[in-house]
Structure 1
Amino acid sequence: MRWLMPLGERTRPDVPSYADCPAPDKSRALALVDDFGHLFTVPAGMAAGIRRGTDRLGHTG
């Protein structure tokens, strides 16, 4: 079984800890993993890449 998680979107600037979870087809980014436990390590890597403006391989886009 594979697990899919969309990137949450911070849509409420007045509540910085709140993030909407868009549908996968509306999301800016997705994580697809084979092990559910891996979903908890993916957001940190995605956030770091977004801050750098690159993906995990260093590609800009």
Structure 2
Amino acid sequence: MDRNIVINARSNRWNRMTKAAWTRRVLPDLRRWVLRRPKDLTFHVTQALTGHECFRHCFC
């Protein structure tokens, strides 16, 4: 399957989701995020973006 087709499909789904509104505020353009360089996504960034961070209590 063509990568652009997959990215477009995921972007459309991302924009229609009712959950993860906070994450969409940080990453409003999923296509731009996926295609960015360099790819320096760390464990902690992933945790923060998905709302599953182990340090949530630090922000409350």
Give the TM-score taking structure 2 as reference length.
0.26
Rg larger in structure:
2
Give the TM-score taking structure 1 as reference length.
0.26
Instruction: Return the structure number with greater strand share.
Output: 1
